[in-house]
A and B are shown apart, each in its own frame.
Chain A
Amino acid sequence: MSTSLTKRLALGAAVVLIATLAACKGEAPAPGGPAKGPGGVPQFPPYQMRAEQPVGNRLVGGRDPQAVFEHQCGYCHLPGGMGTNLLTKQRIMAGQPPETGILANRTDLTADYVKAVVRNGKNAMPPQTRVDMTDAELDAVAGWLARKR
């Protein structure tokens, strides 16, 4: 995904959040949903296609970690996903930039932390089974998410 698209999508998530917070403060949303802008078009990133599951044995390493992340975690952790929305809210509340709600943008994750959250779950996130993500996949993805540290 290009950097400009990532920025645009993070911005989209932030706009939704701001609309949401505005709604909490009592500014009325348009009918048809809380997050609709002029003309009723939602200010929200469009559906994000996930990468295809990379071919190869899921039980051994060596497959593209970014593709594994997008395919397996992308249900919730691409821009506009449930995990991104909840994390964006948490990050803003914690005084962090909204785009850090997108896991791929984080610079402070450690591989061990990612593994612990994936296997134990966290708040609204359920623990992931080894069919959802094998140990080899998790090793690769955790390393990839921690790469910017």
Chain B
Amino acid sequence: MKLTLPPRISPQQFDTALKAFAGVVGEGWVMASDADRTAYADVYAPGPIDQWPAGAAVAPSSTEEVQAIVRLANEHKVPLWPVARGKNLGYGTAAPRLKGSVVLDMGRMNKVLELDPKLAYAVVEPGVGFFDLHDAIERAKAPLWMSVPGNGWGSVLGNALEHGIGYTPYGLHARNLCGMEVVLPDGDMLRTGMGAMNNNSAWHLFPMNYGPTWDLAFSQSNLGVVTKAGVWLQPAPETSLELTWDIPEEDDIAWVIDTITPLKIAGIIEQNVFIPSWLGKIVILGQRKDFWDKPSAMPEWRVKELLKEHKLGYWRVSIRLYGDENVNKAKAEVIKAAFKRHLSAPPFEVWWRQGEEKPALDISLGTPSAVPLQMSDWVGGRGAHLGFSPVVPATSEHVMGQLKRSRKIIADHDVDFYASFTIGGRFANNVNMLMYDRDNAAQIDNMKKLFNALIDETAKAGYAEYRTHLGWMDRVMDTFDYNNNALRRFDEKIKDALDPNGIIAPGKQGVWPAAYRDLKQEGRA
């Protein structure tokens, strides 16, 4: 990908800035060739990959180097786009919101700094991926489990900071963060929580500050660069029991939600319960053309045929229990009784006990995998996906409303329906997976129209997304419209106070520093 300069920076100024960065990290860790820029582009971009072009990338190996780069970026007025491992697939990968930004790739800072089996936490740098932490735990034989998202290739901290979700009792990843070290936009350093005191041993244990608590202000944020953080881990359970039901009809999701939510809120179910629709089980079995060979959306009759053929329900619910065998047995009885009121078929039950090999590919057991990304093969060619991800209250009324609304919009755009609801407690995350071939311009154009319609119609109904792709960060921020967009006005006031040159991640989540606010219309999908 050819060089795109940051706004108002000449080629010579850019070159001078990169040389200054090289003086900090060494020439080998400043990446500015056309091939480098392509590697930092959004591989799943809904459109040409140069729509959100990085100017270069720089990879520090220590907090001190991060500080030095941030100071130089201020001096040279070159915006930085920090990424942990740059694997935010479906949301922009490593690509920056503002063209020409230099990706601050934290991938080299990949140390597991602490692993405490007694109090069940780790302290990690941003470059530590889920596989890395998993292997570190195994090597230390620590009786700890992590919670992993669908794509285990990414960073533990990056995923948590982007509000990623997993499927264990520790599945709300941002909640596991405790005590951070942050390089601020002027190069100063902050430690949050108890870490604000020198040598405080409760830094990664007590989740609040003395005074205002800032940890999550650095999540989905452009207020600083997190260089390390504490992550709470789950004590490895003695046993785990998985109960699986196939749920026959689309509308059955209503009773499923009303059955699971109270059990989750009461703590009988501890994990985040993932409920994928039928396509979630089919995508892994082959390619779309094996099941439906026309470009139009798979019609209802074919869906019914496939479900019958594969003996699948419209939805599948797997509930996993963790802990002592007797406790799991007792909980299972409560859950089975609740399901039996609606469905006579008993669940499929699988026990796992300490000492046994964990079933591969089961991310609810905290084992990382990149296999779910195989779904990109579904459409064939250079397959990609976007996720439309609104949050709704976890009741049948709201979930059914959301389901019917998005289903109709998706059908109106002649696209296959592939949704999941993840019950995280009082709320459910609804992810609508939109898969496309990166080389099919008409399909991409249709996806973009569909995505816009989904955002707008869902906002009208009173729901918002929890996370979105670069190209829609502003459109989604616009939906937070209370009191003349008070949230964005507040975010931007803080942004301008902390980052007067606007050099950390301008435009992240629709928050623009004064220095680049005139450019906020650019780069919208």
A113 close to B (CB within 8 Å) = no
Cα distance, A49 to B358, chains bound together (Å): 13
Interface size grouping (class) on chain A: 35 or more
Expressed in whole angstroms, the Cα–Cα distance for A132 and B359 within the complex equals 28
Contact between B382 and A32 (Cβ–Cβ < 8 Å)?
A: no
Contact present for A44 and B361 (CB under 8 Å): yes
Interface string of A49-61 (1 = CB under 8 A from B): 1101100000100
Contacts of A74 in B (CB 8 A): 131
Stretch at the interface among B37-45, B163-171, B218-226: B37-45
Taking A75-B152, A129-B57, A130-B39 as contacts, is the C-beta distance between A124 and B374 under 8 angstroms?
Answer: yes
For window 31-66 of A, CB contacts with B under 8 Å fall at 31-35, 40-42, 44-47, 49-50, 52-53, 59
**0/1 interface trace, chain A 64-93, chain B, CB 8 Å (1 if under):** 000000000011100011100110000000
B interface secondary structure, majority: mixed
Cβ of A119 within 8 Å of any chain B Cβ, yes or no, is: yes
Query: Are the CB atoms of A129 and B135 closer together than 8 Å?
Result: no
Q: How far is the CA of A39 from the CA of B93 in the complex (A)?
A: 39
For residue A3, CB closer than 8 A to chain B, the reply is no
Given contact pairs A31-B244, A81-B371, A126 touches B43 in the complex (Cβ within 8 A): yes
User: Does B332 lie at the interface of the complex (its beta carbon under 8 Å from any beta carbon of A)?
Assistant: no
Q: Mark B373-404, 1 if CB is under 8 A from A, else 0.
A: 11011000111000000000000000000000
User: A85: which B residues are within 8 A, CB to CB?
Assistant: 371, 374
> Is the contact region of chain A dominated by helix, strand, or loop, or is it mixed?
loop
The interface residues of chain A lying within 8 Å CB-to-CB of B39 are 119, 127-130, 132
Q: CB-CB < 8 A to B348: which residues of A?
A: 30-32, 40
Decide if B373 touches A23 in the complex (CB within 8 Å).
no
A49 neighbours in B (Cβ, 8 Å): 135, 138-139
Find out whether the CB atom of A82 lies under 8 angstroms from the CB atom of B370: yes
A94–B316 alpha-carbon span in the complex (Å): 34
Give chain B nearest CB distance to A28 CB in angstroms: 4
Assuming the contacts A124-B376, A134-B28, asked whether A42 and B359 have C-beta atoms less than 8 A apart, the reply is: yes
- Bound-state Cα–Cα, A52 to B132, Å: 9
Give 18 pairs: A residue, B residue, CB < 8 Å, sorted on A. A23-B285, A23-B310, A31-B348, A32-B318, A44-B361, A50-B135, A53-B110, A74-B131, A75-B131, A75-B152, A80-B371, A81-B370, A85-B374, A124-B377, A129-B57, A131-B29, A131-B86, A131-B108
Interface residues in chain B, defined as those with a beta carbon under 8 Å from any beta carbon in chain A = 26, 28-29, 31, 35-36, 38-40, 43, 57, 59, 86, 89, 93-94, 105, 107-108, 110, 129, 131, 134-135, 138-139, 152-153, 242, 244-246, 281, 284-286, 290, 309-311, 316, 318, 348, 350, 357-362, 367, 369-371, 373-374, 376-377, 381-383
